[in-house]
Structure 1
């Protein structure tokens, strides 16, 4: 059985909204930010249908949104541009300063999403919990991706699927990353393959477990909770608990990239494995690890990723040292100094920095590495703080006078 298509369907932006339910947290879930991934939309529809059929007391609020209604109705990842690559202050400010009459399809989608989200962000007195529901073109079990900040861990690790670190940091302009940088909780969940009916069921299980873990609803109000947990445990049996991204293979249309058949998420591969072809010939993995998100669809700018398991000891250690400001000692490492223009960034000279310097930066959550001339710039998502950031300047035009 496959996931029913939503092609040619007129979709409402808001799938459901329970409304405020006491003084508990708010969970906001997005489906179909990529329009060829309808499983999250179907799962949210099922969730709100179950909440309507059997009303139960809530301590918080649950909201479900279709992120890219037009692409979802067309059954395409996007119409003109990837909606999950344009969430940063500069591009949002430019969009809101422009004439809506000139909007392209994804411009209009992003503008409408901003109108929905801004009042929720402005009114928040605690971190909102954002879920981004995805599916993939390759086979393999469900997993989650989170920015490597401590506030994301209870939500990500509250769902029994592998957690991938570093994916949100290597992709620029992701919606969840933008929201995380304001101080909110943001976790993306991959439910399985696009067309598999089990992907809808996996997402439904993820939604119920997250509502309980976040405190929106008591576990006793969800009699199917252990069945949902068992479903995910079975779907991920034998997989590593935590992994980190080691390599991202970026592609362009000019590459004429074509993944070779038969690769799946979590498939172990030695270094030098031929996994795809492009105009230059065979594409080989630069290091050993596990295949993640092999591209078996027409649209997309990521050919594949390589990940490796992370030990629980390393994860526990990172959690203990994050709050101790030990990262102020990072400039003592060879070849490392603070960026004078951005004090929360570090400049690293790879010709001087010693082996495992990257691993030390990862320990402190600095997983965003970008070229800076002959150097590398390391930065991280906004770390845990006592209060949320004020509403960003780029969103203030959406607030009433």
Structure 2
């Protein structure tokens, strides 16, 4: 193992394994939220074992610490959420601000940004970016992805639920920024913050990811089948696709209290009492499954609601994207290109209501309202570097 910590002047790099053979570059992030140390521990465990057992590596494997100061303090963040800061505008602002004026998370972001682009500019592809997280509530392990087909195809290899569309509700996650650059990026939520199983699930996921990306050969990984079963059993054999249909936002000044006992993927009926927000009852708007209910003091998301995506809808969306059906959308009234190269559309709100959000989702578009009359629709397919991954076994599967 090549430990770069001394070279960078901090402990940003957990480790770097540089294989003798050509292969992918696989990058794991742990501790983007400082109260979520399971990913960091898993990365340390797996990299150390690869080194000790002299397992042959193809390409490069990186382990990167996220919010170092928050990890030391055991807090989600110190000044603001590092995983809500990765927008082009914010990055440019940080780059043009003196270091003395930067808040803790601004400094952390700039350091991560430099490491990220150093890897992208010096290492060969294909690139795989995986960000480890945990939740404040009990949960099945699950994957979150931006809805690009390269992310879907790779994520389907893992025996856990897959959540689509989180980028529509959150601004500035690290993986959304990476996905905007066209690279495969996957978030893995391994369990509850303090649960032993969260570390075990992260370790299992990391081994599988290294095999699936061809960074390691399956035959060289002792206990491979056990790692697969670990995730499959922890997920209770639930490997369905879900989409987010509602987010309950909260402000740092708000009084929010989730009712006790909820865990992710619990089914709730319409009208079910879920939480109290500023002394008002919060009810489920429709029958759905609750997702990431908040049981900690820091956070901007009270809870989400999700629903299962039918297999037919997944198949149809894949077919329509492959025949480039989304390219025909601008011929519709009220729809125009905001940026054709980036695949972003401007959609009149009346048109959006007429066509319905599920249709845009089917074609790979997620929305952000920019004013009273228009919605900005962004497609991950337009920027995805599909050619980079077209030669991989899982892409051709």
**Taking structure 2 as the reference length, what is the TM-score of the superposition?**
0.90
**361-370 or 67-76: bigger deviation:** 361-370
Deviations 1:203-232 (A, max 9, x none): 000000000101101100112110000011
Tell me the residue number matched to 1:19: 18
Tell me the residue number matched to 1:398: none
* RMSD of aligned residue pairs (Cα, Å): 2.0
Pick 1 or 2: higher relative contact order, CA cutoff 8 A, min separation 6: 1
Deviations 1:144-179 (A, max 9, x none): 001100111232112111000001332111100101
Tell me the residue number matched to 2:72: 73
2:197 & 2:386 partners in 1: Cα distance? 39
1:228 & 1:356 partners in 2: Cα distance? 43
Q: Secondary structure at the match of 1:215?
A: coil
Q: Is the 8 A contact 2:159 2:239 kept in 1?
A: no
Tell me the residue number matched to 1:395: none
2:349 & 2:118 partners in 1: Cα distance? 44
Tell me the residue number matched to 1:82: 81
Aligned positions, number: 377
Tell me the residue number matched to 1:234: 233
Tell me the residue number matched to 1:337: 335
Tell me the residue number matched to 1:292: 291
2:204 matched to 1:197? no
Alpha-carbon deviation of 1:348? 3.7
**125-134 or 306-315: bigger deviation:** 125-134
Alpha-carbon deviation of 1:26? 0.7
Alpha-carbon deviation of 1:14? 1.2
**370-379 or 233-242: bigger deviation:** 370-379
Q: Is the 8 A contact 1:60 1:217 kept in 2?
A: no
Q: Is the 8 A contact 2:78 2:104 kept in 1?
A: yes
Shift in alpha-carbon separation, 1:36–1:238, aligned structure 2, 3 A = same
Q: Is the 8 A contact 2:159 2:238 kept in 1?
A: no
**Taking structure 1 as the reference length, what is the TM-score of the superposition?**
0.89
Tell me the residue number matched to 1:311: 310
Q: Is the 8 A contact 1:21 1:61 kept in 2?
A: no
**Unaligned 5+ runs, structure 1:** 1-10, 389-401
Alpha-carbon deviation of 1:368? 2.9
Q: Is the 8 A contact 1:295 1:303 kept in 2?
A: yes
1:151 & 1:307 partners in 2: Cα distance? 22
**188-197 or 343-352: bigger deviation:** 343-352
Q: Secondary structure at the match of 2:182?
A: coil
Q: Secondary structure at the match of 2:54?
A: coil
Shift in alpha-carbon separation, 1:306–1:240, aligned structure 2, 3 A = farther
Q: Secondary structure at the match of 1:252?
A: coil
Shift in alpha-carbon separation, 1:230–1:386, aligned structure 2, 3 A = closer
Q: Is the 8 A contact 2:23 2:125 kept in 1?
A: no
Tell me the residue number matched to 1:260: 259
Q: Is the 8 A contact 1:181 1:382 kept in 2?
A: no
Q: Is the 8 A contact 2:137 2:264 kept in 1?
A: yes
Alpha-carbon deviation of 1:281? 0.5
Alpha-carbon deviation of 1:346? 3.0
1:38 & 1:255 partners in 2: Cα distance? 27
Tell me the residue number matched to 2:170: 171
